[in-house]
Structures are given as C-alpha cells and as structure tokens.
Amino acid sequence: MTGTPGASSTRDGEAPERPPPCSPSYDLTGKNKVVTVDGMRVKLQIWDTAGQERFRSVTHAYYRDAQALLLLYDITNKSSFDNIRAWLTEIHEYAQQDVVIMLLGNKADVSSERVIRSEDGETLAREYGVPFMETSAKTGMNVELAFLAIAKELKYRAGRQAGEASFQIRDYVESQKKRPSCCSFL
C-alpha cells in the first residue's frame, strides 16, 4: 500500500465468498478484523485494491459494495498523493453515496524521506470533508484508530436511534490521533 493509494472495503457481516485479491500486508490491508466498540463486536472485512497498477480495472466492484474506503498515500511519494484526487473522483462516481471515506498518509515513520507535509494531507481532507491522519504500518501509529473510527461510525449508523447524540468521525479522529514528531510519536 505504499507508493500508491489503496482502497479497502469494510463490511460488518459474514466471511467473504471470494478471497482478498492480493496478499496481505501489515494491519492496514488484507485481513479481517474484529473491533470492539462500546462492548459490541464489529467485524471488518478488508480488501486491498493493490494500487495503481489496477486502477480503473477491478476497483469499481469494490466501490459498489464497500461501506467504507481507506484511501492511502505514501508521505514519501508525491505521485501517490497526487493520485488521491483521481481516486476521490472515482469513488464519488462509483461508490455508495454514504460510503465512509478516510484519508491516510502512510509511512509517517520515515520522516527523513517525507515529501508531503501533514498540512497538505489535512488541506486535501478538509476540501473533501473526510477525516485524515498519518499512519505507519511499520510502527502501528494510528492504525488501530483508523479501524476503530470506521467501526464506530458503521455501528452508529446501524443502530442510530431518534434523539441519540450523533457520532462525528472527523471530530473523533482529530481528538484521538497521534501526530508524528521529530523525537517520538508512540
């Protein structure tokens, strides 16, 4: 999931009939995950679209079924960041209208090779009204939070009742996310 953005779909429900289309990497893609939200187990079924090489070929089927999409770019690779707008355009065309989208700037651990500033990710995310954080699949920074935030949002939507306080995923992510610093971010 580095170098190009990957989109993953999540589902709360039964195991997939078809296997994930590419080999799993760390916690960000390729695995099913169970997240406990307020005492309820939410199962996330994760598919990795495998990146740019399959752009516009297999991805439409993912969009159609996905309840949530994680859009990843690599903070050390400008073209991966530049591709995000194209992915968002695709998503708006093919995904369900209420799909949960999250923008992730991955490889936050390799600050020496950073070419995309955190502010650039934040600005892009704000423009599209999606939550944003930087992650590291190497150290695990913010990885669990990304899944937890999505699980909370999906659980909230599934069980929403009149009068219940709304769950704001962007506010939640902003309040919980860790930011990389020069010395320590864990």
Ligand X SMILES: Nc1nc2c(ncn2[C@@H]2O[C@H](COP(=O)(O)OP(=O)(O)OP(=O)(O)O)[C@@H](O)[C@H]2O)c(=O)[nH]1
Report the C-alpha gap between 170 and 173 in whole angstroms.
5
Ranges within 82-111 binding ligand X (CB under 6 A): 106-107, 109-110
Find out whether 20 and 46 touch, Cβ atoms under 8 Å. Answer: yes
Pick the closer one to ligand X by CB: 8 or 45. Answer: 8
Which amino acid is present at 162?
A
Binding mask 21-50 for ligand X (x = CB under 6 A): -x--x----------------------x-x
Pick the closer one to ligand X by CB: 133 or 154. Answer: 133
DSSP 95-132: S-TT-EEEEEEE-TT-GGG--S-HHHHHHHHHHHT--E
Pick the closer one to ligand X by CB: 101 or 137. Answer: 137
Radius of gyration of the chain (CA): 16
Report the C-alpha gap between 104 and 113 in whole angstroms.
17
- Minimum CB–partner distance for residue 136 and ligand X (Å): 4
- Minimum CB–partner distance for residue 113 and ligand X (Å): 9
The binding site for ligand X (CB under 6 A) comprises 1-4, 6, 22, 25, 48, 50-51, 106-107, 109-110, 136-138
